[in-house]
Amino acid sequence: MTELPLHNEEKLLLQIAEGDDKAFAKLFYAYHHKLTAFVFGWTKSEMATEEIVQEVFLKIWTNRQALTTVKNFNNYLYILSRNYTFNSLRKLAHDRQKFKEWARRIEEEMDISPDVLKEDYTPLIEEAIAQLPQQQQKVFILKRYQHLKYEQIGKEMGISPETARKHMALATKNVTEYVQKNLRVIAIIFAASLVFT
């Protein structure tokens, strides 16, 4: 996006403070490109950068009355952007850590414990279960939600306990992969994998 030179920036800020959206558009086009480059230098993620830049400009517009007290808009903009970027990176780090802990627990247990099912991942797990093949889904539900033993599941479904165990292993693998894949997509909102690799 091409940067446009600003003439009489102080007057432009006063116009924005009074709700002039055309003046705001001029400000946006004047600063968008270099602000994007600045934020990208920290995030290394186009998606995260665009989200932060949009949030910054939205903040400027919603708090536009404060522009009347701004003496150096360039400094104001970059301090605001730096704060948004650092807060975003902290959140990304936190979300990535949560995912790593969850994945580690899955690896260790090779199962999904009731504690994990109570966490924030429950909606994703439920989506994953809904997409399982019928036999896997039934075994998973009987084992995880009704707490039946494999012998009981086998009798209920007319299969051997070993077959029930195999269905459970496959179901757990499929659920885990589905959740991991979709957490990575969500982490796209957060862009964790791009920021921390």
- Domains, the chain, ranges and CATH? 9-90 (1.10.1740.10), 110-195 (1.10.10.10)
Q: Residue 100: what pLDDT?
A: 64
CA distance 125 to 102: 12
Nearest of 103, 97, 124 to residue 186 by alpha carbon: 124
DSSP state of 45: -
Q: Residue 194: what pLDDT?
A: 39
> What does the pLDDT profile of the chain (197 residues) look like in tens digits?
344 446 678 888 999 999 998 999 988 888 888 888 888 888 777 888 888 888 899 989 998 998 988 888 888 888 888 888 888 777 777 666 666 666 566 545 444 444 444 445 667 777 888 888 999 889 988 888 788 888 999 898 999 989 999 998 888 888 888 777 766 554 444 443 333 33
CA distance 105 to 115: 11
Contact 129, 141 (CB under 8 A): yes
Q: Residue 40: what pLDDT?
A: 86
Contact 35, 58 (CB under 8 A): no
CA distance 14 to 30: 16
Nearest of 45, 84, 50 to residue 196 by alpha carbon: 45
